[in-house]
Chain A
Amino acid sequence: MSGAVPVHDVVVIGGGPAGLAAALGARRAGAEDVLLIERDKRLGGILNQCIHDGFGLFLYNETISGPEYAERLAEEALRAGVRAETGAMVLDLAADRLLRVNARAGYRLLRARSVVLAMGCRERTREMIEIPGTRPAGIFTAGTAQALVNLQNIRVGNEAVILGSGDIGLIMARRLTFEGVAVRGVFELMPWTNGLERNVRQCLMDFGIPLALSSTVVEVRGRDRVESVVVAAVDGSLEPVPGTEREVRCDTLLLSVGLIPENELSKRAGVALSPLTGGAVVDETFMTSVDGIFSCGNVLQIHDVADFASHEGFAAGAAAARFARGELGGGPRVSLAPGREVRYVLPQLVRAGASGFGVNFRTVRPLGKCRVTVTGRRSGKVYVQRKFGRLLPSELQTVRVKPAVEEDLEVACHE
């Protein structure tokens, strides 16, 4: 390898709903040379296997399926002059924004004035939640089963139990029912569902699939193939209650037990991560702790709706374009912290003097009618106050801070 390393204005890593939007956002904000790198042979990321409708309500004002959303957004990005390279994987990212890429034409180095991280997330596995029992075939994460059924025409089993009420699990309960698989039940550890209300209704209640809250799978049985699982109720500290065990016959167990932002590359670049979100610590421009590296979509925080991941992508891409032109400097930042009933807030940092930015948050537990406040920690000044009819941990919420901010802030809910 010889010659100078080529320099791009903005390099986006990942071509899903966030990455496509980030690349498009960077072009719209005036970046000349925008390169999007996607590992798969097709753009769209996880949208390609999400064939159900419900996407696009915010971006396109109509409800469409994942593949349609992906194709439309990809077409827009390409038309706007984004260069997309599929079948290419970023092997390493350094803090000075040097990327090592394994592409169709071989290994190469490239440098970016700005990088946008949009690698998405991974599903938690059986090993991560440590379900005891045998290790037979027939245990899938819900997303893996979704890819097998929707993209490869493979029937995953005949009788299924689903652990976890995340949206992918709920969607798969309906999808398997359509394919003639009997879904014996959905078991959720928490006393509330983790999925969106509409999915509980349209994917479980429509088909009479039972949902058991405060319960979990305590054992997998079967030698070569899953033959049954043992389920049990859990107490207030989420421990199985002895004597409540019951065996449920099934040959398939799907896990929908949480998503984890995929930050291997971010770590290599030295990007600071938040233990609360599993994603990067960012400011209101979505810049991470490393200058010129931005983060958006599920690699930053787990979203419920693809449109919101794209929304974040547009903003991160636009900021990356500004940084590439030298228009986005550093400077002092104030912090934004979770208060009463709030599990996390994002961004975690805000440039001092910034105004008119959105703040995402999730609550610790379901809340009824409540007031959400953003308060100055020094002055006690209330920057935002907004009423909500109810707040669920499964729904990512946003409030807008309009006044300029010069002090550390706290977000809290008051029921």
Chain B
Amino acid sequence: MLNHRVIPALLLKNGGLVKTHKFKDPKYVGDPINAIRIFNDKEVDELMVLDIVASKEGQEPDYRMIELFAGECFMPLCYGGGIKTMEQADRIFNMGVEKISIQTAAIEDLGLIREVADKYGSQAVVISVDIKRTLFGGTKLYRSATSDTDKENWKTFLTRAVDAGAGEVLINAVDKDGTLSGPDLELIKEANSELDIPLIALGGVSSLEDIRLAVEAGASAVAAGAFFVFHGPHRAVLITYPKYEELEKLFMNGVNE
């Protein structure tokens, strides 16, 4: 039986590991290489590393660091942040990264998605969308590089990105980021109803039960940041990951798939 993937999503800022709250106030949580070693030992299903300032500040991806990550990861690694050209993508894949996640460049033009999918296959391209709820509960496509919302309907955008060759969708609930207040299940349901390709839900997870609920709502995989790096009411930094047996039990008992 295929297990649902549970993926730590690590945020990078200028070489340090940070955790944000609703996409703001990045708090330094430690050395990324050290964190990756710990996640490696814990045998995580997959790892996602997202550079939150590369696109915003027009920086190149931090190749030296990405190469170090790839050398340490004996599980699939997805990198996102600042990738705008095929040359950059080539360089990152060559280091041993399995997937790249694209957002900013894709909102401008889906050509890069098409090009990467043609060369490396759809499974190597994740289209990443950040979704923000409006005051009235509606949903808007958020542009993390410029901190504003886009006019295009996010579902239409996703359909176009999938047509262009994206093999997986990462959907990040902006208002849930770092809040540990549970995932946006309605959003997951809505996204899942549109997709035939795997959906990774990110944002709000605070417990194993939340992971189960997100999967029940239609996520193929569940990613989380704060849940895996903070511990206790005072948010002390402690890297954790559930045991395989716990995850197996979680999905066996509750998910009808």
Q: Do A and B come from one complex?
A: no
